Amino acid sequence: MAIEVINIETFLQLRQQLPVFDVRSPGEFEHAHIPNAISLPLFTNEERALVGTQYKQVGKQPAIKTALPFFAEKMVPMIETVEKVITKNKLANEIIVHCWRGGMRSAGVAWLLNLYGFKVYTLQGGYKAFRNWALQQFEKNYRLNIIGGYTGSGKTEILKVLQQQGHNVIDLEALAHHKGSAFGGIDMPAQPSQEMFENSLALQLYQHTTIVNNAFPIWLEDESQRIGTVNIPIKLFEQMRESPVYFFDIPFEERLKHIMEGYGKAPKEKLISAIMRIKKRLGGLATKNAINFLLEEDVSNCFSELLIYYDKLYWKGLHNRNNFLELVKTIPAPNTNAQNNAQLLQEYLNSTEHD
């Protein structure tokens, strides 16, 4: 079986059925990779640095001679890794291999795996081609709908219900591993790099506009551009700011109750650390009060103090839109029950369909 070189369009289709093996070094993979790709490094980080230096300073042939012993010792383990993936997932004997730009690393591993008996596809241009494609996705125009509401409104939970109902949904906070506020990183996995966040987001945009329900809008949560340490790509963020916002107007006490359920049992030291991060914006007195309430085990009053601050912040961001009156649709809701609020949303949409 001949090794088949595929372009990015074919790759995007095949990756839905076939395992993708990334033969770049562990450090490259950890920084960012194609979502769901499996790391199958040809070189360690140190080996890659050594071979790369030789290639630049001495030449191609000496670098290959240096690389071959590293490759030789990994041949059997690489084959066995691929076999395990295929056997575990009951897949066909077909795989995709890529490196940084479709060069010698993927060519070498593809040769080995093809020789062993796998049907091998390699991505033309490698990870670099995918990365360029990913960045292009943020230059496109999308039909977006935004779920809005003050902090504690259960916006993420509404998105989950919409997703269960078959709507196109992208959970930006799930991709970012962060819930958006100064407290958003508590009990969450480490955040991805900006590049990895963009890769995941690009694929979700592609899937929702190319593969499923492409005639329907994508639902997102109203976010600041920055979510923890990552940023929503600027053009997409600008589109979010120009899209309809379905704002759930939920009583303060109900939202406070919802926040208590989410953060009430978080470690005090993490809560205090988060409060200190917003000390300048929160103000000295409010910061002191919030921390004192927390130390006195009065979590409710602590979060009440913080909620007042976040409500002001969100109100400012909500109104800082062109055509605010046209874009923001208010939906009064008695509490944060996501199922009920998704129903209220549907009723609102139905009532305005023929307006």
pLDDT in tens, 298-333: 999 999 999 999 999 999 999 999 899 999 999 999
Q: Residue 187 — very low, low, confident or very high, per pLDDT cuts 50/70/90?
A: confident
Calculate mean pLDDT across residues 212-235: 91
User: Going by C-beta distance under 8 Å and a sequence separation of 6 or more, which residues neighbour residue 106?
Assistant: 23, 97, 98, 99, 122, 123, 126
The reply to whether domains 4-135 and 142-352 share a CATH topology is: no
pLDDT in tens, 96-145: 999 999 889 999 999 999 999 999 999 999 999 999 999 999 999 999 99
Residue-range domain boundaries for the chain: 4-135, 142-352
DSSP string, 212-235: S-TTSPEEEE---SEETTEE--HH
What dotted CATH number matches 142-352?
3.40.50
Alpha-carbon span 23 to 11, nearest angstrom:
16
Q: What percent of the chain has pLDDT over 70?
A: 98
Is it true that domain 4-135 has CATH number 3.40.250.10? yes
Joined together, the tokens standing for residue 86 give: 């295929």
SS3 track for 260-303:
HHHHCCCCHHHHHHHHHHCHHHHCHHHHHHHHHHHHCCCHHHHH
> In this model, does residue 211 exceed pLDDT 80?
no
Catalytic positions, please?
A: 99
Q: To the nearest whole percent, how much of the chain has pLDDT over 90? A: 88
Residue 195 CA, chain-centre distance (Å), reads: 10
- Specify the pairing of strand 226-227 against strand 230-231: antiparallel
